[in-house]
Amino acid sequence: SPNEGETIVRDHVMGEVRFPNEQLDDLIILRSDGTPTYNLSVVVDDHDMGITHIVRGDDHLTNAGRQSQIYAALGWNIPEFAHVPLIHGPDGAKLSKRHGALGAEAYRDMGYLPEAMRNYLVRLGWSHGDDEIFSTDQAIEWFNLESIGRSPARFDFAKLESLNGHYIREANDERLADETIALMTRLDGWQADDVFRSKLIALMPGLKARAKTLVELGRGATFLLARRPLACDEKASQLLNEESRALLSRLVLRLEARNDWEIAEIEATIRAFAEEENLKLGKVAQPLRAAVTGSTVSPPIFDVLATLGRDEAIGRIKDQAA
């Protein structure tokens, strides 16, 4: 390394970076056994591979100065450099395993859609005006190195979940059903057949309206696979008190009297029952939801009853009725 002057790296992200040569030590390029060290190896390899642009983390910025000197000493053209700031965790520290998942497979198993991950990652530290949501094709068209910020970006799981929820709501119901079944089979051992898939697709509009990940979506649909009698969660159990069970026992008589089992007829029957009981619809729907799903959260209750089918729905209500 020269003892005087400067080595200048013209970086697409960091701008013009000047290294005083006196601060760049004479690095070792060959070990005692004759094998080359990193900085020599990467220069020779990139040159032989015809590499024109080097895009990497800014923790390698100092190496760019050393490698530029090696390129110059060998008489080779220096590639274009772009040193990208590292991603930090929510606490401002360099992203690491202690912040959670790092590999693509881990985010897949957390229920994030590929297009949501691509959108979020390309937006992390890069911008295109005020655009937050854009397709992969748009990202390819718009992306440039010069719009990458110089400051480290923070990985925000809340923003990722919000963005993923958007893509879930926009996704095709059949595709969501297939991806959810594949994921939940892997995570929870689901045993889903074509009948279950059809039911899942039927309820998908209601399920995906509130889900932020495929895991949430799958857990919200687990009641479809549940065997009678259902095990209710804590909140659902609290709803199913003596008064609610007596109410369900009267309601189930009305539902049993119906031979047709379409959403409109189910809704009309339950609304009429609520009026006769001088109750708001929610006072009937809440214990009814708890009885047929084991939870206080589900897709619209009339959709749930229709999808479960007459016999299964009535059977679940009777299990919880007084």
Q: Which residues are catalytic?
A: 97
Length of the chain: 322
Write the secondary structure of 187-206 as one string of H (helix), E (strand) and C (coil): HHCCCCCHHHHHHHHHHHHH
Burial class (CB in 10 A: 0-12, 13-18, 19+), 146: exposed
Q: What are phi and psi of 26, to 5 degrees?
A: -75, 95
Please report the DSSP string for 142-171 in residue order: H--GGGB-SSPEEP-HHHHHHHHHHHHHHS
Burial class (CB in 10 A: 0-12, 13-18, 19+), 284: buried
Q: For residues 218 and 222, give the distance between their C-alpha atoms in angstroms, rounded to a whole number.
A: 6
Of 42, 125, 40, 47, which Cα lies nearest the Cα of 83?
125
